Structure 1
């Protein structure tokens, strides 16, 4: 008998608070330990020559594109003090690097239309191409820039557009106007939270980097080093920590208790109210473990796997609240019930219960006989 008291079986499902708080304790411990395991595995992976080669080539291509530079082994953007420097940077990127990669010519006129948001006065591009321009370009670009004109006031389509605030380059621009033009191209991370432009729009740097990293050779390098250096180590870290905290540790306790269950005084019995079989822990743990791993491996480190996992956890919590005996998904898979260890009395199996019941009946009969 699992309880020293010689009483009839009494199964009390764990209170919602105890079960929830115990699960939170386990989750917090698992996340902290898992993060350490992940960082260790990821660091090892990135030191492996094959994976390091993917990363180095990816970094070098971005540096060669002219969009970023390497500082302390990290890619960082260029920060300039006037918009013309960004104009030169991005024109060089599209005209000299990106254009040849795409077998397309990106000239000054293209730059005026697709970077400065000017009208396609020469009708070179289709309506779909023009409408695909980001809102930053279509809306703010036209507010900040206009085609340059000659002495006869005719537009110079093949010359870079000028800021509307000035007809003579940057000479007549205020500091605030200069800052606005710079932020059109790039907003530093440290300024994003306080910058309305960055909150409403992305900036040109963002879209140029998106174009760059969409190139097949860069995308392939990134996918490889991100998968083997980040995604796979994360999946392995999840497996290791889940196995330790949700399988090995409960196996060490007689009643299938995790650390959270020990703290909250809850434990496991089977669906008939008898002592659980250790094999029941396997389906109880493996389903959520492999579900989490599969989602991360298949979908990568996007929001989608975490949204799906969150929905699964929420649905499981709703089941605990409203189902009989407060069963979660993994309880149904494993045939287990989480009970209040202090208030419950349970037996190893039906035979043990019958034996205990017979002993009680014999004791009661003896007491009655003696009292008579």
Structure 2
């Protein structure tokens, strides 16, 4: 009878564990699959063959770049919109990522003249949704400004999105994408091995042309989650005991979500090396963050006085309601699947690795962030 009872309990625990893991899998499903939409805004009186060809070329660049990161990109639709009609047109709300490309005239007026050629923004707590890229489309030789090659700039903005989608916060993105000593100018015409980690090429299926893009970060390719967990969590009895204790306090209501996350952060956070910090220009967004990319020089090699305040007008082109999206940082709420998993782990009915995978997931969802 005792053996039957134990067998029954084991089956219940197994069923609950499967349920928790299923909930977790649902919450974290298809981390490398994203839907995206492309909108090209033109100053011309109509969208002609030239604009349509450029759209196909940009579509192909984005698809090829996602492939470098081994991500599945689902293009929902592409639109060519006249500038005077953009704000009256409806856009799909199903896209995880919206890419807005401004033609050369509009890009010069709204971005380049103020010192910027690209913008990435994310809103809210859900890192799978509410991403936007706004980029100026320009010919390498026709613009009055000395700018970055369009394919390189596009891949740079896509890299912002990919890292953010995988859970990296803005400080992590800055370090990983902006701290390289080998800059764009150093490698754009250099085919030596020293630039292999900086520059890659993709070949267009539309024109057959080869385009320079940022090489994918090796540590991010195939990464479904961020590796914020120290080896001490697996090897140190003292650290594991401390984690057990604060998790128990939280489960029993002695400390609230915010206190628990703050305490947990001291264990899982990655130390930041000061000399690796790189500060980018950002806009103040109450429920999200943005990163601006500067142009190199103005007309006649003159230095442009940057005016980031003008970029708030560019944010108006984001095709979803940014004001209704809840901030990820003001009111941390730990999901129920994590609490269920923590209770099983606290009672030694769940392996350390499965619980720590849950810790990694809430890091990726923005509940625990770097200093």
TM-score by length of structure 2 reads 0.23
More strand by share: 2
- TM-score (norm. length: structure 1): 0.23
Higher helix proportion (structure 1 or 2): 1
Structure possessing the higher radius of gyration over alpha carbons: 1
